[in-house]
A and B are shown apart, each in its own frame.
Chain A
Amino acid sequence: MNGSIAVAEAGYDEVLRDVMTFLNDQTKRRYEITESTNMARDLNLDSLAVMDVLLALEDKFDVSIPINHLAEIQTVSDLARTIIDIKKG
């Protein structure tokens, strides 16, 4: 897929790095983003903005991330793990 990443082969560290790069770009590097960064609280993203992050990451990783997962995704680490879990099926 154009611009997408083969997550199935990628490990947690690689997906995490890509998610962090993506979030840094989205937030114009205004924050120090780490594994434990809480997206709503620390990045000041409202519910819609978090959903838009998922929308964009679906394309980046060529996966479908149903918004039903939102409740479980609070930190950057949660997001990376969700992407890996979904891709593994």
Chain B
Amino acid sequence: MSLLARFTHVANNYGKATALGANPFKVRMEKVISPTEAIVNGRQTTLAGTHNYLGLTFDADCIEAAIAALRQEGTGTTGSRVANGSYSHHRGLEDELAEFFGRRHAMVFSTGYQANLGMLSALVGPDDHLVIDADCHASIYDGCKLAGAKVTRFRHNDPADLEKRLRRLAAEGGNKLIVIEGIYSMLGDEAPLREIVEVKKKYGAYLLVDEAHSVGVLGERGRGLAEAAGCEADVDFVVGTFSKSFGSVGGFCVSDMEGFDLLRVASRPYTFTASLPPSVMASVRAALKALQERPELRRKLHDNAALLYGELSRSGFTLGPVVNPIVAVRLEDPETAIRFWNGLLERGVYVNLALPPATPNGWSMLRVSVSAAHSAKQLMHIAAVFRDVAYDLGILEMPVRAAAF
């Protein structure tokens, strides 16, 4: 039997997804023009599926900082910080992150994925319990596997369900670490953090919040859901990524936990990975500065999200429950979603295709991510193209006046 034979069902689904047009998993950005535009299949395309929330990928200060670091410190660190040492940017970035979040400690990882792997695998062991929201990201599920702790899921965004499961675990020994996200990447909905904090306190558990999609997006200063909900002191660990609002790559964790620095040698995904190159960290530091000094970016992001959400909602699409920069458009079935995604791409609009089992409740969706860099004109265009495709596929009925032409 072939080594890959166990992926037969994956191959079948993959075949179905690619048979209806372009390959949704292999889109080639032939030329990236700006945070919101690229050439795809020779066509000028509006990007609405890149989670570039603050639009900083082409920010002049971020680019200049990266170039300067590249010239001064070279292209890469060629190894882990444990083996090759920490560059000034590693500690500089960690100090600035700790200060930004008002925490005693910060630790930088090479990707957001590794930040979850690195934290979960080091914080708990086989005698402990991870209690995770059912809709958590794959990196959290993979971190759970690496941790070896007993893993219990609770129903998405349901504090009463969390409490029920913690109650069942109350008699068992070991620490309990609750893991949730700030904004969930599929539907754009937020965790009911205050209620979850109440349950956490009642059962003496710890709480880790992955704010990958909410740092730079939520909170008066952009510190994420914990800031927006006013419960930062009750969140033991905040994990985040540099690949969304910060416009680069990498991940981090901040905390006030005593002994946090031990994780630098206890967390294998941290210890045994090549560290971030200086140029990446320099651009992230510039992005962190922009995030703090330019709150207008966050305001623009929310105005843009409201504009697109309103347009699509009024058009008759079924959307995620909250207005956030992730606008999830629910469709009937995988085939409709794939056809819709192709229709958009053929008309020059790029969004994310999200199919089960990666989606909650087995839904088929298109995930649109809004950026502060989108103009109102671009967003109106995206909404108009969504309507066009929906009319073509018979999902929405064309308004009488438009149909008369």
Question: Do the two chains belong together in a single complex?
Answer: yes
User: Which residues of A come within 8 Å of B, CB atoms?
Assistant: 46-49, 51-52, 54-55, 58-59, 62-64, 66-68
Query: CB distance B168 to A67 under 8 Å?
Result: no
Given contact pairs A49-B362, A51-B134, A64 touches B168 in the complex (Cβ within 8 A): yes
Query: CB distance B357 to A55 under 8 Å?
Result: no
Query: CB distance B168 to A62 under 8 Å?
Result: yes
Given contact pairs A48-B357, A49-B362, A55 touches B169 in the complex (Cβ within 8 A): no
A-B contact pairs, 19 of them (CB 8 A): A46-B357, A48-B357, A49-B357, A49-B362, A51-B134, A52-B134, A55-B134, A55-B153, A55-B155, A58-B165, A58-B168, A59-B164, A64-B152, A64-B168, A64-B169, A66-B150, A66-B152, A67-B151, A67-B153
Query: CB distance B151 to A68 under 8 Å?
Result: yes
Complex CA–CA separation, A2 to B393 (angstroms): 46
Given contact pairs A47-B357, A48-B357, A52-B134, A66 touches B151 in the complex (Cβ within 8 A): yes
Query: CB distance A63 to B150 under 8 Å?
Result: no
Q: Which residue of A lies closest to B171 (CB)?
A: A89
Complex CA–CA separation, A47 to B9 (angstroms): 12
Complex CA–CA separation, A46 to B357 (angstroms): 7
Complex CA–CA separation, A47 to B362 (angstroms): 11
User: Which residues of B come within 8 Å of A, CB atoms?
Assistant: 129, 134, 144, 150-153, 155, 164-165, 168-169, 172, 356-357, 362
A contact face: mostly helix, strand, loop, or mixed = helix
Q: Which residues of B contact A67 (CB under 8 A)?
A: 144, 151-153
Interface centre among A49, A51, A62, A67 (most CB of B within 10 A): A67
Query: CB distance A48 to B356 under 8 Å?
Result: yes
Complex CA–CA separation, A8 to B151 (angstroms): 22
Complex CA–CA separation, A64 to B165 (angstroms): 7
Given A49-B357, A58-B165, A64-B172, 19 more A-B residue pairs with CB atoms under 8 Å apart are A46-B356, A46-B357, A48-B357, A49-B362, A51-B153, A52-B134, A54-B153, A55-B153, A58-B152, A59-B164, A63-B168, A64-B152, A64-B165, A66-B150, A66-B151, A66-B152, A67-B144, A68-B150, A68-B151
Interface centre among A58, A63, A64 (most CB of B within 10 A): A64
Interface centre among B144, B153, B165 (most CB of A within 10 A): B153
Complex CA–CA separation, A14 to B151 (angstroms): 27
Complex CA–CA separation, A47 to B321 (angstroms): 25
Q: Which residues of B contact A58 (CB under 8 A)?
A: 152, 165, 168
Complex CA–CA separation, A68 to B132 (angstroms): 13
Q: Which residues of B contact A64 (CB under 8 A)?
A: 152, 165, 168-169, 172
Distance to closest chain A CB from B138 (angstroms): 11
Q: Which residue of B lies closest to A64 (CB)?
A: B168
Distance to closest chain A CB from B83 (angstroms): 32
Complex CA–CA separation, A68 to B357 (angstroms): 19
Complex CA–CA separation, A14 to B155 (angstroms): 27
Q: Which residue of B lies closest to A51 (CB)?
A: B153
Q: Which residues of A contact B144 (CB under 8 A)?
A: 67
Q: Which residues of B contact A46 (CB under 8 A)?
A: 356-357
Complex CA–CA separation, A52 to B168 (angstroms): 18
Q: Which residue of B lies closest to A46 (CB)?
A: B357
Complex CA–CA separation, A64 to B356 (angstroms): 25
Complex CA–CA separation, A58 to B150 (angstroms): 14
Interface centre among A48, A49, A59 (most CB of B within 10 A): A48
Distance to closest chain A CB from B127 (angstroms): 12
Q: Which residue of B lies closest to A67 (CB)?
A: B151
Q: Which residues of B contact A63 (CB under 8 A)?
A: 168
